[in-house]
Structure 1
Amino acid sequence: MSAPLPTRSRIVADRLAEAGIPGRIVVLPDAASTAVLAAAALGVEVGAIANSLVFMSDGEPLLVMTSGAHRVDTAALAERIGRGSITRASVDQVREATGQAIGGVAPTGHPDRLTTIVDEDLAAYPQIWAAGGTPHTVFPLTFDQLVSLTEGTVAKVD
């Protein structure tokens, strides 16, 4: 019998079930708080890791689901999506917006729906992996499932 999921991961699992996404949350033996660590633990390309990055933009949190293969160009993204500046959220802002810790932010399971941008480069992978609410949990899904789950806007982010 497997160990029970952490509370934050159970919330994410419930949201996945409600969305009809069959991906099961996997508990990793070691923290996978970066795309490189997650890719190594899962044996996948780093680009197939959907990093959940929380920024602040125009006074509200903005979740950017980006491929682990590159960094977000915040100035270019702000221009593309018609926003003022986009700045990295503080640890406290991330926790307040998502209810989750940096390194384990899932694309769902937050107290309120977050405006979300989904990196178009993630579409190149038949399966992607996202954090499951803690740095030790991840789950698989497809690009289309990620866009649907987050009600995200697809954009170039780098």
Structure 2
Amino acid sequence: MGNSSTAPGYHPSEVKVSILDARNLPLYRKRKGGNYGSSTIVIFSIGDQVVRTLERSTETGNAVYNQSWTFKFTMPEHSPLFIQIKDMELGILGSHEVPFEEIPYSPHRDRKTLFSFVFKPTIASDKLADVTVINSEKQCELLFNARVTQLHFKVNSR
């Protein structure tokens, strides 16, 4: 998951991230008469640590992920949580950045930490030449949970 080592004299911070689902994703078909569908992944990063979901295919425009990760690092205030949702055919549909200060501290599971990232998908025009896309005008929504479970602190050494 990247570098999780700590600087001398510091304990690591932790941020737990869980992706729940995505709604109203654009659907496309590659050939005339084929079914509409999409195949997406969600990518999360903090600093140099990057994780991604398993690929999810859907014919409804709604994808369920239910995956979680823990990021460990020393200096969180300089590392926002960056999120991208990518369709395997259409490319990056949207991205969002959550400043570290906006991620709530909660050492225990807490439903109040649910985030909703609403976006209108961005689809490159060269991708539209190969496929027929529907739902591209709808607002998409990505639901995820992020919480700081441990804050870093300097250890006094004498």
TM-score range, shorter chain: under 0.3
> Larger % of helix: which?
1
> Larger % of strand: which?
2
TM-score by length of 2: 0.22
Structure having the higher Rg: 2
Relative contact order, CA 8 A, sep 6+: which one is greater? 2
